[in-house]
Copies of this chain bind each other. A is one copy, B any other.
Amino acid sequence: MRKEKLEELRNYIEELQIITKERKKEEFIYQGTEPIQRKGFINVESYNCKLQNGIIIPREKIVKGGKDGNAAIILPITNEGNTLLVIQPRVFTKETVCVELPAGYIEENEDPITAGKRELVEETGYVPDQIQLLASFYQDQGCSAAYNYSMLALGCQKIKNQNLDQDEIIRYFECSFEEALELVNRGYITDLQSQFTLEKAKKIVKKTKCLTHYKKGE
């Protein structure tokens, strides 16, 4: 990757780094005078489960916004054959900022592909021509029902502005697919979802590139 390109990425990272992290007092939801759950986006629920073999096991479930927290992870390829990455504060990581593929939670009754397209547009302003599913998987099957979908978004074009939630702060960064793989190896892309999605896309992206070059050559 060119020095100036890496400089651009480092500037985004630096801007979004955390200076201070202050623990807040937890608030609770009450039923009468009794606390029944934590107030917040993420919660934990307790269950006793009886197995076919008769054994009863206790288990805890993480819920996000009252839902399972299914997510879509999108590998966007632009009309020029480039990849788009996003940079955002990830305050509990050592680096406090992560470079990732665009991703987001799937809304109630939303299908994964629609969610992927929506998240890509919101986070980058790029609109894809077509999206195809690469893989699907549980993210943390021991204590969550979250089921995620990795997808490839082809023919992406910058049409809109970013449209972020109030608490979202996201920069985006355009590079070649090979440079994205380089950023995994150099320790810039550190999350499992992005690493796996890039890995799964390798063969397809190479084929697609041939196709793009072929079309341009016509």
Contact = CB atoms under 8 A, between A and B. Distances in A.
A200 to B, nearest CB: 8
Interface string A37-61: 1101111111111111101011111
A46 B40 CA distance: 8
A95 to B, nearest CB: 9
A46 B21 CA distance: 10
Contacts of A141: 90, 92-93, 98, 100, 190-191
Contacts of A57: 89, 91, 167, 169
B44 A42 contact: yes
Contacts of A145: 92-94
For A98, A100, A193, the residue with the greatest tally of chain B CB atoms inside 10 Å of its CB is A193
A97 to B, nearest CB: 9
Interface of A: 14-26, 28, 35-38, 40-53, 55, 57-62, 64, 68, 89-94, 98, 100, 135, 137-145, 147-148, 167, 169, 190-193, 195-196, 199-200
